[in-house]
Amino acid sequence: MKTKFYILLFFFGMIMLPQNTYAQVDFNKRPDDDLGNVEDLFQEYFFEALKQKGIENYQKSADALLKCIEINDSDPVLYYELGKNYMQLKNFGAAEDAFKEAVSKAPKNEWYLDELYGVYIQQNDMNKALKTVKQLVEYHPDYKQDLASLYIELKKYKDALKILDELDSKSGYSEDRDYLRNKIYNITGNDEDRIENLEERVKSNPEDESNYLRLIFRYSETGETQKAFDAAKRLLTFNPESQLVHLALYKFYLDDNDTENAIKSMKVVLTSAVIKPEAKTKVLNDFVKFVGKNPQYEADLVEVTSLISDDKSVKTLLELGDYYLKSNDKEKALRYYQEALQQEPNEFKIIRDVLLLQIDLDKDQEAIKRSEEALEVFPSQPILYLINGVANNKIKQPEKAIESLEIGLDFLVENPKMEADFYKQLSESHKQLNNISQSQTFAKKAEALLKDQ
C-alpha cells in the first residue's frame, strides 16, 4: 500500500536526523550559563534512546525520548523517533499522536507524513490515510497510486479511475495499475468502460499485441463473439506474424465453419515456441474432439501430433488414446496410453487401460509382466489378478493363472460381474488341466452370478 523512503543513519545504523534539525541541537556545545548540565543531559538521553532502539528495547528508547522532550520539546525529530518506537510496540494511538506532533512542527516533512500514513494503514483508518496521502502527493507523485488504492477501499471508484487515467497518460501502462483498474471493473461490473479503455489502448498503439489479446478476451468474456473475432482479425492485420492470436482465432473459425483456417490456426498454436504447453494441451484436445466428429481431417491430426511428439501432456496423450480407441485403432490407442504411462507410471487407471488393450491385442507376455509390476504397487486390486490370470490362460500356463485368480478373489468385494469373470477364467484353467469336474463347477458359478444380474 505504501511507498517508503529510507535514509541511512549516522549512528547505530538508525535513521539520520533531517538536516534542518542540526542547527537546533549542537551536541558539542558546552554549557555557557548557570543551568548546569541541561544540554549534556539532553545529549545523554538522546543517545540512550538511539542505543536502546538499536538493541530493540523500544519502551526504554521511548522513555529516554520523553525525557528529552521534557528538557526541550521544540525538535520534531524527537516525536518522529518516539512515534517509530510506539509503532514497534504496536501502540498505534500513541504513535499517531507522536507523528502528528512531528508533522505539526514540520508540516512539509514527507518522512513524518509517510510514517503517519503508515499508522492509519495499520489502524485501517482509510479516511485519515487518504487525507495524509493527499498531502504526500504534493511532494512525491509516486504516492498517486496509493491514492487510487485508497479511493478503491473507500468505494470512490470514479476518483480512483481518474487517478489511474492520469498516471497511465503520463507514465504509460503498468501491470500494477491494470490490476487496480480491473479490480474496479470487477466490483462495479462496468464492462463497457473496461472495453472502452482497451479499445482506446489499441487505437493509440495498434502494434501492441497485448492490448488486442486483452480486448479479445474481454469481448469473449462478455459474449460479444463477433467483436472478439473482429479484434483478432485486426491484430492479424497489424501483426501477421502473431502466434498468440491463433489461440482465439481457431475457435472463431470453428464456430464460423471455416474448417481450413481453423486447422491452420491450430497448427500454428501447436507448433509455436512462444505458446505455453498448457494452452497447447487445450487446443490439441479440441483438435482431437474436432477430428472425432470430422474423421476426414485425421491426416491433419496425425501431421500435428508427429510435429509435437515431445511436447504432449498426459491429458493430451489420453485424449489421443481415447480418440483412436473409439476409432477402433487399438494399436495407436495403446501407443498413446503407454506414452502417458511413461509420464505417470503409477496412475492406476492408465495401467488398467494399457493392460486391457494388451490382452485385446494378444500381447499376453507384456500383459503378464506389466500386471506383475503393477501388483507390487497395487497388491489389493482384483482386476490386476484377473488380467494376469487371463494372460496366463492364453499362453497355456493354467497353474500360474489359478494362483493369480485365487488370490484376486480374496480381494474382491461385492462385484458380481467381475466375480463371474474370475470363475470363467478358473473354469478355463481347470479345463486346460483336464480337471473337467472343477471346470464345470466354476462355469456354473459364473452362470449363476450372471443370471442374478
Contact between residue 371 and residue 379 where contact means Cβ atoms under 8 Å apart: no
- Tell me, what amino acid is at 342? Q
Calculate the alpha carbon distances from 215 to 67, 178, 192, 251 in Å.
62, 13, 12, 16
The three-point CA angle 320-363-446 to 5° equals 100
| Closest residue by Cα to residue 370 from 396, 337, 403 | 337
Q: What is the pLDDT of residue 220?
A: 87
**Confidence class for position 243, pLDDT limits 50, 70, 90:** very high
Q: For the whole prediction, is pTM greater than 0.85? A: no
Q: What is the pLDDT of residues 34-84, one digit of tens each?
A: 444 567 888 898 999 999 999 999 999 999 999 999 999 889 999 999 999
Q: How many CB atoms lie within 10 A of CB 242?
A: 18
Pair 302, 323: CB distance under 8 Å: no
Nearest to 443 by CA among 430, 415, 424, 425: 424
> Residue 97 belongs to what H/E stretch?
helix 92-105
Is the model more confident about 451 or about 120? 120
At 386-431, the pLDDT tens digits run 999 999 999 999 999 999 999 999 999 889 999 999 999 999 999 9
In this predicted structure, what is the pLDDT of residue 14?
36
Q: DSSP labels for 401-423?
A: HHHHHHHHHHH--S-HHHHHHHH
Instruction: Give the DSSP H or E segment for 193.
Output: helix 191-204
d(CA 65, CA 153): 36
Q: Is the CA virtual torsion 40, 44, 49, 53 positive or negative?
A: positive
Q: Say if residues 96 and 116 touch (Cβ distance below 8 Å).
A: yes
Question: pLDDT grade, residue 370 (50/70/90)?
Answer: very high
Q: pLDDT category, 25, cuts 50, 70, 90? A: very low
Q: Is the dihedral of CA 275, 279, 280, 284 positive or negative?
A: negative
Give the distance between the most distant pair of CA atoms in the chain: 127
Asked whether the beta carbons of 279 and 269 are under 8 A apart, the reply is yes
pLDDT at 38: 64
Distances (CA, A) of 420 to 357, 386, 391, 451: 20, 11, 17, 10
pLDDT tens digits, one per residue of 300-357: 888 887 777 666 778 888 888 888 898 889 999 999 999 999 999 999 999 999 999 9
- Written as one string, the DSSP assignment of 194-247 is HHHHHHHHHHH-TT-HHHHHHHHHHHHHTT-HHHHHHHHHHHHHH-TT-STTHH
Measured CA to CA in angstroms, residue 283 lies from 84, 257, 265, 341 at distances of 56, 17, 10, 22
C-alpha cell, 23: 542547527
Spatial separation of the C-alpha atoms in residues 140 and 295, rounded to whole Å:
64
Are the C-beta atoms of 450 and 421 separated by less than 8 Å? no
Q: What is the pLDDT of residues 99-143, one digit of tens each?
A: 999 999 998 888 999 899 899 988 889 899 998 888 888 887 888
